[in-house]
Copies of this chain bind each other. A is one copy, B any other.
Amino acid sequence: MPYDAPIRGFRGDGMITGFLALYIFMLAAFTGYEIIARVPVILHTPLMSGSNFVHGIVLVGAMVALGHATTPAEIAIGVIAVLLAAGNVAGGYVVTERMLEMFKSSKQSDKQ
């Protein structure tokens, strides 16, 4: 009964094992921390919204979860996951883009 296996939709081979995962966790955390530490206060609201958008990548996970769901309960939860994640990704993008669009220097606003 293959459908009882954990969802391995993303890969069959080359598993990310414990230590590899730790390395990736660690490096990603360092990267995130260092990059964000350079963002000036003036952009903190768009940054919050932008990082909100970035975790919208959860949508691809939700798609795989739904794609491998078989029982009605799983399908229902899967659909909810996809719906929520899609909302996260689209909303996060629109809001961030709208905010950033407004930031202009004197030069740019003169040109208009």
B-binding residues in A (CB < 8 A): 13-20, 23-24, 27-28, 30-31, 34-35, 38
**B13, A14: Cβ atoms closer than 8 Å:** no
Taking CB atoms, residues of chain B closer than 8 Å to A34 are: 31, 34-35, 38
C-alpha spacing A24/B14, complex, angstroms = 14
Taking the nearest CB of chain B, how far is it from the CB of A23, in angstroms?
6
C-alpha spacing A27/B15, complex, angstroms = 18
Tell me what chain A mostly uses at the interface: helix, strand, loop, or mixed: helix
**B17, A17: Cβ atoms closer than 8 Å:** no
9 A-B pairs with least C-beta separation: A14-B17, A27-B27, A34-B34, A30-B31, A31-B31, A27-B31, A27-B28, A34-B35, A20-B20
C-alpha spacing A19/B10, complex, angstroms = 12
Interface CB pairs A-B, < 8 A, 21? A13-B17, A14-B15, A14-B17, A14-B18, A14-B19, A14-B20, A16-B20, A20-B20, A20-B24, A23-B24, A24-B24, A24-B27, A27-B27, A27-B30, A27-B31, A30-B35, A31-B31, A31-B34, A34-B34, A34-B35, A34-B38
